[in-house]
Amino acid sequence: MRAILLLLSCALSFSAQAAPRETKYKEITLDTVPGDKISISCPRAAVKLTGTASTSTVMRVRKTLPDSSSEGASRFEGMSFSVKKEGGIVRIECTGQDSKEELAKAVKPGAGDFHFELEGASLPVEVGVRGGNVNLQGWKQSVAALIVEGRVHAVGTENALRVQLQRGDVKIDGHRGPVTLDSHSAKLSAANVEGDMSVVNFAGESLLSSIRGNVDAKLDSGTFTIAKSSGSLDFILGKGTLNAN
């Protein structure tokens, strides 16, 4: 019995140690008016944009850290964020690393993540992160996501959507407006899109379905599949595979 209790105690201790640490910041109502833009820049971040009928936009921020004493985690722990408005642009930026060497250590996978959740009135947004995710739900203004490695998921969105992603996944469902994807090796899934699409996916996998608009595609060694779509299809194909139904 003592041995069982000891094992249980060790398991509980290990679970507690493995739990990530989280810092929650005070909710912020962004100082915006119609016509303003939002810029989000952070080395590692998960960004969620949820559009509602509200006339204001609120932001909730939290920071998660692994329960470890790694150099990357300790440097990411010292990072914070700032919000300032310049000439109609609300700039949300992560701060705290002055040198490129310190920044490189802080952005390593597992070092930590910021989580920015914006909810309310839709405004044009540009997101720039090295590693992370962008989740869009019902956002009605243009979005540009520039990511080195990560994921983009857009549902029920409108206006121009531009994704520049080196590696990762892109999933789009129920979008109205033009879509531009520029990637080296992304896994793209797009369905129920009303608008023209431009896809450059050098060595990735692209699956398009129910696209009502013209599609321009360029790939080298990847695969491209399109089905149940209307509009013209122009493509430049290298060693890749094209399937059109």
- In 3-state terms, what secondary structure has residue 54? coil
Mean pLDDT of the chain: 87
How far, in whole angstroms, is CA 10 from its chain's centroid?
37
Q: From the CB of residue 10, how many other CB atoms can be counted at a distance below 10 Å?
A: 10
pLDDT digits (tens, 9 = 90+) for 12-71: 443 344 456 888 999 999 999 999 999 999 988 999 999 999 999 999 999 988 766 655
Give pTM, 2 decimals. Answer: 0.86
Dihedral sign for Cα 119, 164, 141, 153, please: negative
- Kindly report the length of the chain: 245
| Contacts (Cβ under 8 Å, ≥6 apart) of 73 | 65, 66, 110, 111, 112
3-state SS track over 4-43: HHHHHHHHHHHHHHHCCEEEECCCEECCCCCCCEEEEEEE
- Are 96 and 47 in contact by the 8 Å Cβ rule? The answer is no
The pLDDT, as a whole number, for residue 101 is: 62
Q: Give pLDDT, residue 102.
A: 61
Express each pLDDT in 174-197 by its tens digit: 999 999 999 999 999 999 999 999
Tokens 């209790």: give the residue.
5
